[in-house]
Amino acid sequence: MIIMKDIKEKYLPIGTVVILKGATKRLMISGFCAMDNSNKDKIWDYSGCMYPEGFLNSNQICLFDHQQIEKVYHMGLSNDDEEKEFKENLNTFMSEFEKANKQIIEEKSKKKNGTKKQPKVKKTETKKIINKTKETTDKKE
């Protein structure tokens, strides 16, 4: 068993068995850079499945980040040329993605801070606007 502070490399190999901080069940890493359909702005470092059960159905996929890992119980295959090349490409892609994402966030922040807030419209004024819109629509029909 390896404590995470001893591991410097961010992306552990596929097949690595880990336990997350505060968890009671181990996971096996099965993928990298996964997104949850409910939050497209977040890319998780890993996807995994329960260990030793494996992948049983799509509702049991676990998404987690490197810093959430507490211990490594088993390292997956890591001295393979394909795996090494893949990790180099993955690290390059993720550093470029993080730079681009940072720029997007900064631009959104500038736009948000640069625009003036619209004055609040009272409920009675909103009802008047809705009624006028209905009247105009009814006349057109």
pLDDT of 100 over the 50 cut: yes
Residues 6+ apart with CB under 8 A from 43: 33, 34, 35, 94, 97
- Establish if 124 belongs to a structural domain: no
Q: Tally the domains of the chain.
A: 1
How far is residue 80 CA from its own chain's centroid? 28
Written as six digits, the tokens of 59 are 């509702």
Written as six digits, the tokens of 45 are 């470092």
pLDDT band at 89 (very low <50, low <70, confident <90, very high): confident
Q: Which helix (H) or strand (E) holds 25?
A: none
- Establish if 42 belongs to a structural domain: yes
Which tens digits make up the pLDDT trace of 39-64? 877 889 999 999 999 988 878 899 99
pLDDT of 122 over the 60 cut: no
- Establish if 137 belongs to a structural domain: no
- Establish if 103 belongs to a structural domain: yes
The whole-angstrom separation of Cα 31 and Cα 90 is 11
- Establish if 120 belongs to a structural domain: no
pLDDT band at 123 (very low <50, low <70, confident <90, very high): very low
- Establish if 136 belongs to a structural domain: no
pLDDT band at 79 (very low <50, low <70, confident <90, very high): confident
Q: Is 18 exposed, middle or buried (0-12, 13-18, 19+ CB in 10 A)?
A: buried
- Establish if 123 belongs to a structural domain: no
- Establish if 119 belongs to a structural domain: no
Domain holding 95, by residue range, is 2-112
pLDDT band at 134 (very low <50, low <70, confident <90, very high): very low
